[in-house]
Amino acid sequence: MSNKKFYVTTPIYYPSDNLHIGHTYCTVAVDCVKRFKTMQGYDVFFTTGTDEHGQKIEDKAKEFGMEPKAYVDGIVKNIKKLWEIMDIDYDYFVRSTDEDHEKDVQEIFQKLYDKGDIYKGEYKGYYCKPCESFWTEAQLGEGHTCPDCGRSTELTNEESYFFRLSKYKDRLLKYYEDHPEFIEPAFRKNEMVKNFFEGESGLEDLSVSRSTFDWGVKVPFDPKHVVYVWIDALTCYLTAIGYGTDKEKFNDYWPADVHFVGKEIIRFHVIIWPAILMALDLPLPDKVFGHGWILFDNDKMSKSKGNVIYPEPIIKLYGVDALKYFLLREFSFGSDGSFNIEKFMQRLNSDLANDLGNLLSRTVSMIGKYNDGIIKDMGVREEVDDDLENLAVSVVDNVEKAMEHYEFSVALEAIWKLIRRTNKYVDETEPWKLAKDEDKKDRLNTVLYNLAESLRIVSVLIYPFIKETSLKIREQLGLDSKVSWEDSRVFGLLPDDTKVRKGEVIFPRLDIEAEIER
């Protein structure tokens, strides 16, 4: 196993409802990072899971007349099934109701208390249940609404334990200063500092327990309190890699290389989380990447607004890779973008059916028709070959550069440049004309070889993004399923006498109008 470790996480999602396309978005991105890093020789650990405690879940279960655990068990089953259908290659699915996790949370709470970083007090302020977050009056929006989600908050007054967050203010600011790559995209850092460190009240101590409901991890030394759900949830990142059960594994993977989160929960990850880790004397994660939202009709998707899109029907109609490709290609990861089914179908038609699908099917058909399915480079080169070859071997560097900053869309665009260049190569070399001339047979074979070779390189480069398609292409090209990243750097690796196998059309073209009526 490689000694280059890489630990990456998605948020630990609330199983208050089935997950929608927004959750799918972040998970697909992290899955892609896992595959990409693994291909680059890292030993990657990928954690996802569910954040099952708190008032929101308790209320939701009540609505259905169920016990919270029974309610979330049902949703978690659906989530795991979704990740299976989508071939999400996570290493650990942590549930905040797992016994070992609850133990970790209690141990950590006790440690912080013993250290004097947690003290008892009384919380008077506002609480947003959907976000499970505390707000002061000065932070609220108009009409006492939550500044994050815009929904109404509740005035709360209860006995509570507090974490001395204010004590860590200077250390946090210094950490941001010394590690400019910690918060990405970088502009989010100023937003955080302005909103949470420089406001009227500065960085205040944080209420970290609740005493008015009991669906949570009990505070070990005062069981009428349950631990604040965000402390519980963030700790999942530690449990998943064996914090309390497997020290060796924990030391192997901690600190995390990157926590991927939506922009609305960056603050929990760059303020509360590092302060807790500092208090525990644990190293901090290298990076928190706050991605943008997928909007629907320019509004954030939410069940209460009735504008939620679920992944399952899309996958059923168009396949897993069409959805993965769209999510990773259409949106610039750090910014918001709008989901629109028409845009989805246009992308599918132009990039997947026309550019990639068409290139594969014409290449394999021509090799079948003109050379009995055998690929053979006869070495009859022309200038146009150099152009294709130079581009083909340069794409990998551009993909790597883009992936350093998690620019999935830029990486895919670089790969599609090669796909489109290869289609142009077909038009330039006109194999159907070469086929009519017996003297051009060798040139024809070289042209066909180059087409297949370019597709082989494409199959390697798309593997972390759309694995199923990569494997389908390789199968049609007569290649095995062992895909090595380094093989994308060299042109000419396809062995002579490889036999292609014509298969199904990988992405059938859609009649968009008919599809929309459907």
In the complex, the residues that contact ligand ME8 under the rule CB under 6 A are 11-14, 22-23, 25-26, 51, 233-234, 261-262, 264-265, 293-294, 300-301
Q: Encoding tokens for residue 435?
A: 């086929």
Contacts by residues 250-256 (CB-CB < 8 Å, ≥ 24 positions apart): 252/5, 253/5, 253/7, 253/45, 254/7, 254/282, 254/283, 255/7, 255/282, 255/283, 255/284, 255/285, 255/286, 256/7, 256/8, 256/9, 256/285, 256/286
HSE at residue 71, side-chain half, CA atoms within 13 A, is 22
Cα separation, 455 vs 430, in Å, equals 17
Q: For the CB of residue 222, give the shortest distance to ligand ME8 in the complex, in Å.
A: 24
In the bound state with ligand ME8, the residue whose beta carbon lies nearer, of 41 and 74, is 74
In the bound state with ligand ME8, the residue whose beta carbon lies nearer, of 337 and 503, is 337
In the bound state with ligand ME8, the residue whose beta carbon lies nearer, of 123 and 331, is 331
In the bound state with ligand ME8, the residue whose beta carbon lies nearer, of 300 and 376, is 300
Amino acid present at 191: E
Q: For the CB of residue 88, give the shortest distance to ligand ME8 in the complex, in Å.
A: 14
Q: For the CB of residue 142, give the shortest distance to ligand ME8 in the complex, in Å.
A: 23
Amino acid present at 8: V
Position of tokens 């059923």? 316
CB-based closest residue to ligand ME8: 22
In the bound state with ligand ME8, the residue whose beta carbon lies nearer, of 26 and 412, is 26
In the bound state with ligand ME8, the residue whose beta carbon lies nearer, of 242 and 290, is 290
Q: For the CB of residue 471, give the shortest distance to ligand ME8 in the complex, in Å.
A: 28
Query: How close are the terminal C-alpha atoms of the chain, in Å?
Result: 49
Q: For the CB of residue 47, give the shortest distance to ligand ME8 in the complex, in Å.
A: 10
In the bound state with ligand ME8, the residue whose beta carbon lies nearer, of 58 and 377, is 58
Q: For the CB of residue 503, give the shortest distance to ligand ME8 in the complex, in Å.
A: 34
* Cβ neighbours, 10 Å, residue 514: 8
Distances in Å between the Cα of 445 and the Cα atoms of 329, 366, 372, 455, 496 are 34, 10, 11, 15, 10
Cα separation, 507 vs 77, in Å, equals 30
Q: For the CB of residue 23, give the shortest distance to ligand ME8 in the complex, in Å.
A: 5
Q: For the CB of residue 22, give the shortest distance to ligand ME8 in the complex, in Å.
A: 2
Position of tokens 């396949």? 319
Task: Check if the beta carbon of residue 37 is closer than 8 Å to that of residue 6.
Answer: yes
Task: Check if the beta carbon of residue 226 is closer than 8 Å to that of residue 209.
Answer: yes
In the bound state with ligand ME8, the residue whose beta carbon lies nearer, of 267 and 474, is 267
